[in-house]
Structure formats: structure tokens, C-alpha cells
């Protein structure tokens, strides 16, 4: 592989939790830099659809933490896809295979991916370095649609990390694409 990647996860701690401490609770699982190492790790990981608690799965390039504040992420953003329960395993697998297979054709621009398991829905996101590069951001969006085989009405939202740093995680960029509902 062109890059070394790290699988990690986050489980929200019991009791009071300050989101600024997120990075302290991210647990690395394994790193890999070959297809063989990827499959040797991935085949032993639980699939997102098999998880019943709130957890975030990450696959990021080595040296990049799955937090907005990381230098590689600070000026970037993420494409977000919200899914009905039961679809996250296939989407997550297709996304990370596209990443390690260099399907996005944007070089260093891709930082990593997150799959967030929640009570009502699952959320998959792909993080990139440069939110201001519209051509690259659009290429990533278009490649996501293709590699995930998304229907035309699937909504992809783009969230800039600097918006998150200024306003908190609920602030969405006005840049949305798609027309209607979540993937069925």
C-alpha cells in the first residue's frame, strides 16, 4: 500500500464526558501497510452492524489522529453519509477498501474515515485535508457516490472542521449535495 493505516475505536466513557477529551479515549487496534496485513486485521474486527452500543470506528493514515484539531485535519472537512441501521457494514467496508485501493485519486488529501454507531442511525464519514479546494472536495464526493454505489437521492453532507472548532459539532456547512432521504 502507498500509506500505512491505523484502525482504532472510541467508546464513550461512563458518566460525565468532555468532548475535548475525545482523543484521550481513542484506542488503537492495529496498523497495516499491505493488503495481507489489512485482511489479517480486518477479518477479526466486529462489523459495525453487529455493534449495539455507541462506538466510533476509525481508519486513518498513520500519524493522523481522528480529531478535528489534528494538524492534518484542521483545515479540512468530512463528507458525511447518514444510514438507516443495518447498512453500515457494507458501506464501511466499501469505503475503507476504496481508501486503501487509492480509488479517490487525490493523493495525500484523504486523512481517514469514521463509522459512528448510534441508536437511531449509523454515520459514515470520509475526512480530507483541504476544505477550501472545491475541485478536490467535489472529486471526493463523486468518487464516494461511485464506490459506495449510492442512489441519486442519497444525501451527502460536507462539514468543515474549522466550523466544528468554532461552533461545535452540530454546525453543518451550507454545502450539501443530494436531494431526498437516507439510503434505504
Give the pLDDT confidence score for residue 128 in this predicted structure: 97
Give the pLDDT confidence score for residue 153 in this predicted structure: 87
CA 137 to CA 131: how far, in whole Å?
A: 7
pLDDT at 182 over 60: no
CA 160 to CA 169: how far, in whole Å?
A: 10
- Quote the longest CA-to-CA distance of the chain: 43
pLDDT at 15 over 50: yes
pLDDT at 101 over 80: yes
- List the end-to-end C-alpha distance of the chain, in Å, as a whole number: 33
CA 17 to CA 21: how far, in whole Å?
A: 8
User: Dihedral sign, CA of 129, 134, 138, 139?
Assistant: negative
Residue 117 lies in a domain: yes
Q: Are 158 and 179 in contact (CB under 8 A)?
A: no
Number of independent structural domains in the chain: 1
Report the share of the chain in percent with pLDDT over 70: 89
Query: Residues 16-25: pLDDT tens digits?
Result: 877 778 888 8
Give the pLDDT confidence score for residue 39 in this predicted structure: 98
pLDDT at 84 over 70: yes
Residue 182 lies in a domain: no
Report the share of the chain in percent with pLDDT over 90: 69
Residues composing the chain = 184
Residue 184 lies in a domain: no
Residue 89: give its domain's CATH number.
3.30.760.10
Residue 67 lies in a domain: yes
Give the pLDDT confidence score for residue 78 in this predicted structure: 95
Structural domain span for residue 139: 5-177
pLDDT at 166 over 80: no
pLDDT at 117 over 80: yes
Residue 95 lies in a domain: yes
Q: Are 10 and 26 in contact (CB under 8 A)?
A: yes
pLDDT at 173 over 80: no
DSSP codes joined into one string, 20-87: GGGGGGEEEEEEESSHHHHHHHHTTSPPGGG--S-EEEEEEETT--SSTTSTTTTT-EEEEEEE-TT-
Q: What is the bridge-based pairing of β-strands 55-61 and 110-117? A: antiparallel
Give the pLDDT confidence score for residue 169 in this predicted structure: 52
Amino acid at each position: 500500500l502507498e500509506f500505512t493505516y491505523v484502525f482504532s475505536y472510541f467508546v464513550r466513557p461512563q458518566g460525565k464526558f468532555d468532548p475535548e477529551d475525545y482523543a484521550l479515549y481513542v484506542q488503537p487496534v492495529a496498523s497495516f501497510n499491505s493488503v495481507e496485513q489489512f485482511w489479517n486485521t480486518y477479518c477479526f474486527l466486529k462489523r459495525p452492524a453487529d455493534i449495539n452500543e455507541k462506538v466510533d470506528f476509525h481508519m486513518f493514515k498513520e500519524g493522523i489522529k481522528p480529531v478535528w484539531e489534528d494538524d492534518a485535519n484542521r483545515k479540512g472537512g468530512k463528507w458525511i453519509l447518514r444510514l438507516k441501521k443495518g447498512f453500515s457494514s457494507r458501506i464501511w467496508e466499501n469505503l475503507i477498501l476504496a481508501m486503501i485501493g487509492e480509488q479517490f485519486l487525490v493523493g495525500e488529501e484523504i486523512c481517514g474515515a469514521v463509522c459512528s454507531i448510534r441508536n437511531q442511525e449509523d454515520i459514515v464519514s470520509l475526512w480530507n485535508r483541504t476544505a477550501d479546494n472545491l475541485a478536490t472536495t467535489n472529486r471526493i464526493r463523486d468518487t464516494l457516490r461511485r464506490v459506495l454505489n449510492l442512489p441519486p437521492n442519497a444525501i451527502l453532507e460536507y462539514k468543515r472542521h474549522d466550523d466544528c472548532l468554532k461552533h461545535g459539532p452540530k454546525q453543518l456547512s451550507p454545502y450539501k449535495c443530494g436531494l431526498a432521504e437516507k439510503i434505504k
